[in-house]
Every structure is written in C-alpha cells, then in structure tokens.
C-alpha cells in the first residue's frame, strides 16, 4: 500500500484528501454488513432478516489484516443496496454506483446498469450515490462546485469530510480516499488525479470516514490506529467490537495473482 496527501481546492487551504493505493495482486478485498446498517429491505426479506451479521472482521482473517475503512451511507439516505455472503440486504438500483468484488478476487466499480449482468460472479456488492467518475469521465453533476447531490452537512454546507473508493482502468489497483473539508468535486478530482478511472463516494460527515491500520499487542490482540491524523475511531474498531455500519477491509494474499493479467487473457 502507498499513501499520499493532496490539496485539491485553491479556495480552501484546509482541504486535504488522503489517498491510499492498494495493489490488488497482493491483497484481497472484503465487505462486511454492519449490525444495523444497511437495513434489510430486500425482495428476499426473509433471508435478509434472518441473516446473522457478524459485523466484525472474522478471526480467521485478522492475522493477515492490513487495513479497514468505512462503508456507505445509511439506508435512510438513499436506500442503497448491499449483498454479502450470498444474501441481498437491499435491492440494487440501476443508476447507483456499485462496488463489486468477484470470485477471481477482482474489484469493479461502476453503475449497476453496467455491472448487473456480472452478478453471478460477484462475491459482494455495495451501492453508493452516482459514480463520481466512470471510465475516466467525470460525472456531469460535478460541474456545480457546491453540489449537494453527494451529501452535505445538516445546514446544507457541502464542504464536509468525505470518503471514496476507486479502481484504475485495468483493475490492478484499488484507491481509498478520506478527506477533511472538501466538496464532492474536489474529492472526485483528487481520486482521479491519483489514478482512479472509476470512483464511488462512500460515507460522509465528521464521524464516519476513516482509514485504519492494525498492530498486534503482546497478547496478539489486534488494535486499530488511524493512518491519517484527526479521524474518529476506536482502538477495537472492526476487530474487537461489532460495527453498527458496514465497512471494507483488505488482507494479504498468500500468493500473488495479477487480476489485470487474468482479465487480459
């Protein structure tokens, strides 16, 4: 993993976007449903309602754990879908941006109307508002510098903390960004500048964006720490305490596999 910091907004000296680039040939991405979010409102509501949500990184994955970060918006803010462990928690929307993991361990990001036909090969998906970038092209809605279509504070101010995920054009790298005081266009352009061709916004506002790495204490317990200063988290976040909201994490692979090369073949 590589990290960098960008200052994307000439009008705001305090605007920062912290970005991590993750080599998908050496790592594996997982998604975890939160204990209460997103809410179960799927067509197969029976299976969804009875699904036991671990809401924590499984013990079997913790020895190889590299990092974890927040997931998407609460259900009340758009009712965006999620599927994990073969259970559909909410029905996908065609226009929503979708982060999808696959049985070849690859990751794709794009509108559901483009990715939906590959659902049989997905191991998970999580939806978000409309993609910030698709195939290297900026969402036209970002032309309004102070747009609130990708979230705002309670008073309507769009200059807030934000987070995002992206992939490069070959699907070889995953990009995760967390920001301080930024607009949606500033976050989107930062992710694209770093190398992401397809970008989905994750959660927003003060308490939710975070990117955590983990250490082991003398007893072998994993403890979290923020890779970047000023973000809200708990020492046992995702590893010792069940999370109310969904999240993502990456582990080391036991063998190196080039997803991009697999797809080229």
Mean pLDDT of 218-239: 93
pLDDT band at 265 (very low <50, low <70, confident <90, very high): very low
At 51, list the tokens: 């699904």
Tell which residue, 208, 33, 259, has the closest CA to residue 125. Answer: 33
**ω before 38 within 30° of 0 (cis)?**
yes
Per-residue pLDDT tens over the stretch 240-262: 999 999 999 999 997 766 655 55
Q: Residues 69, 74, 78, 81: is their CA dihedral positive or negative? A: positive
Q: Above pLDDT 70, what percent of the chain?
A: 93
Contact 193, 7 (CB under 8 A): no
Cα–Cα distance for residue pair 25/253, rounded to 1 Å: 8
> For residue 206, is pLDDT > 70?
yes
How do the domains of the chain map onto residue ranges?
A: 2-257
* 24 Rama sector, left if φ>0, alpha if ψ -120 to 50, beta otherwise: alpha
The whole-angstrom separation of Cα 60 and Cα 192 is 34
CA distance 124 to 146: 32
Residue 45 has phi, psi (to 5 degrees) of -60, -25
For residues 132 and 39, the answer to whether their CB atoms sit within 8 Å is no
- Are 77 and 132 in contact by the 8 Å Cβ rule? The answer is no
Residue-wise pLDDT tens digits, 52-96:
999 999 999 999 999 999 999 999 999 999 999 999 998 899 999
With 0-12 / 13-18 / 19 or more C-beta atoms within 10 angstroms meaning exposed / middle / buried, residue 94 is exposed
Q: What is the pLDDT of residues 167-193, one digit of tens each?
A: 999 999 999 999 999 999 999 999 999
Q: Is 50 exceeded by the pLDDT of residue 114?
A: yes
């Amino acid at each position: 993993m590589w990290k960098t910091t960008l200052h994307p907004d000439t009008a705001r000296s305090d605007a920062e976007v912290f970005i991590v680039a993750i080599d998908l040939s050496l790592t594996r991405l997982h998604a975890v449903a939160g204990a209460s979010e997103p809410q179960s409102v799927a067509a197969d509501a029976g299976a969804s309602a009875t699904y036991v949500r671990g809401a924590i990184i499984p013990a079997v994955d913790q020895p190889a754990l590299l990092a974890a970060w927040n997931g998407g918006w609460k259900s009340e803010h758009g009712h965006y879908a999620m599927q994990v462990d073969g259970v559909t928690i909410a029905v996908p929307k065609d226009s929503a941006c979708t982060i999808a993991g696959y049985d070849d361990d690859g990751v794709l990001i794009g509108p559901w109307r483009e990715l939906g036909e590959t659902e049989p090969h997905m191991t998970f998906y999580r939806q978000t508002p409309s993609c910030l970038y698709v195939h290297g092209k900026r969402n036209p809605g970002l032309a309004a510098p102070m747009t609130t279509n990708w979230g705002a504070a309670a008073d309507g101010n769009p200059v807030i903390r934000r987070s995002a995920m992206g992939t490069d054009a070959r699907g070889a790298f995953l990009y995760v960004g967390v920001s301080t005081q930024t607009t949606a266009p500033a976050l989107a352009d930062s992710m694209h500048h770093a190398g992401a061709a397809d970008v989905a916004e994750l959660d927003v506002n003060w308490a939710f964006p975070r990117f955590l790495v983990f250490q082991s204490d003398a007893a072998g317990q994993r403890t979290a720490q923020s890779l970047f200063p000023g973000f809200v988290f708990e020492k046992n976040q995702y590893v010792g305490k069940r999370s109310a909201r969904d999240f993502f994490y990456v582990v080391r692979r036991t063998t190196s596999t080039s997803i991009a090369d697999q797809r080229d073949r």
